[in-house]
A and B are shown apart, each in its own frame.
Chain A
């Protein structure tokens, strides 16, 4: 079975850089509003996972969580974590010139 969370090499490198600067980090997949489909990258411990968060896997050692209802409503997809230019919205950690995005590998991909 394919891993439920994978990451591009750029995303992996970004995680390593952020860990070097901030210490361990985790991801929470967001939903809704302006930047809703983004993975929010946080220092570990900033938002402890709750009873309704599902641990889907990891990105370069950083745990990746998603809200269980959201995950079900999204039909339990696989996630590919990538980088995109520009500032992060929300409170996500990001590089100066790029932030994390969630992509969904399509059937053709």
Chain B
């Protein structure tokens, strides 16, 4: 057995010794205050680790969205006129608050979503803090432009805020995806109304508790409730100037439809079925790079596969398939599944029972289509208090790219594996999908990796790496994976509009009339 000292499992939020306090019920965060939903309705919020309730959260309706919009509009002018220096200071203070409470937020996020706490400590929460810092810094470097059209006529270009925006967050990275959306909106001088995902309404409210005294009242508002009522009321409102959404395709279409009806812009991120391509030369040496490539395939299990860019299609050059997959399967076999609050846990439960059933159903569909189950392929029963949690074993299916398990996003720890004979076929398979969010290319040949990277129809091609999400690298979809980019300063273009002042300093009339 390893002699490394084992870190203790974090106490369950709300229990003695936990860094996370839990109130019995949570209201909406509107205008810097906690506001009860108008109808007084709440819903139980469950942890997927055990299926038990964490707390109750507001079950809001359209009237609550109106209250949040009232608060946002009341704050709009002052925040929009705040200098970049002032806005930057607020965003940096938000980042500080996240970092000072890293463990608390990481444990809350882990317990609500089911993701392993070692991921939330090392990735989700630090990345969320860094996102605020990134946008705090880039707005300090923003400049308008001046064009001298002739010696007396000048075009000034200013960036102005849109006003009040609506932002709808997915369940897979409740805090980080919120940071991806909130940071640029606030940086651009906008006020926002945020609708968290129904399965994960709570960790963002722990974040709100931290920043309630940092962010001016009404600049950030959070309303929980069902998408069909609360989300719809927000996305279709005449009182928002832009809507941003991450989620599935039909709601993405709806969002874009509402935006069209209201003549406002939208940005959408709608999922993927990302290819992760391994050329034979990864096995040219038995070294750290090969080890990195093996891990690169197994990253499909990161966040239990609930990632829009999950590398869910592994394409392996046929000549190395047996040897490479032997290493991969050994690595998958070693994945430790368990209580997400145990720092040694590598994979936790799916976010909800419905997601667990979906994963199970897709593996059945794969079997039915003739895919071979290389490993996993069933639920995990971890027993004890985890017996009712939503655990599924990390799974690999071997098949062909025309199978449904290669075409539809499963959103679970399931990789669909196939082989290719040459670069041309690898590219053909990689692009044979509706989606184009992410991709991975692994090769020791830089020229080939570059060619592939440019030819793959996806918004991001990780090259000799995967699942890195640094602020400063643009993220977004090609094809059916959505419209718009995040995590880069170009996002300020999505959250500001250009004001042109066209000024004549010439006293003479035109002479037409």
Contact = CB atoms under 8 A, between A and B. Distances in A.
Interface residues of A, number: 40
A71 to B, nearest CB: 11
A35 B172 CA distance: 10
A106 B403 CA distance: 14
Contact of B198 (A67, A88, A104): A88
A89 interface: yes
Interface in A1-45: 28-38, 40, 42
Contacts of B352: 86
B246 interface: yes
B413 interface: no
Interface stretch (B3-11, B18-26, B121-129, B404-412): B404-412
A36 B249 contact: yes
A4 B367 CA distance: 21
12 contacts: A32-B252, A33-B170, A33-B249, A33-B411, A38-B248, A47-B254, A69-B434, A70-B434, A73-B407, A75-B369, A86-B354, A92-B227
A46 B254 contact: yes
Contact of A31 (B43, B199, B246, B248): B248
Interface string B435-455: 100000000000000000000
Interface string B250-261: 111110010000
Contacts of B152: none
Interface stretch (B66-74, B91-99, B292-300, B358-366): B358-366
Interface in B226-258: 226-228, 231-232, 235, 246-254, 257
B306 interface: yes
A86 to B, nearest CB: 5
Contacts of B170: 33-34
Interface residues of B, number: 53
Given A30-B250, A73-B434, A90-B248, 19 more contacts: A32-B272, A34-B308, A36-B249, A36-B409, A36-B411, A37-B409, A40-B248, A46-B254, A70-B408, A73-B404, A73-B407, A75-B402, A75-B404, A84-B357, A85-B353, A87-B226, A88-B226, A93-B228, A107-B368
Contacts of A31: 248-250, 271, 408-409, 434, 480
B198 A89 contact: yes
B87 to A, nearest CB: 31
A18 to B, nearest CB: 10
Closest 10 CB pairs of A and B: A32-B271, A33-B271, A90-B251, A30-B250, A87-B198, A40-B250, A30-B248, A73-B407, A106-B368, A36-B248
A86 B252 CA distance: 21
Interface string A58-92: 00000000010110011101000000111111111
Contacts, number: 151
Contact of A32 (B197, B353, B367, B435): B435
A33 B235 CA distance: 19
B270 A47 contact: no
A42 B227 CA distance: 11
Interface of B: 43, 170-172, 197-199, 226-228, 231-232, 235, 246-254, 257, 269-272, 306, 308, 352-354, 357-358, 361-362, 364-365, 367-369, 402-404, 407-409, 411, 433-435, 480-481
Nearest to B479: A69
Nearest to B365: A104
Contact of B247 (A37, A89, A99): A89
A42 B254 CA distance: 10
Contacts of A108: 368
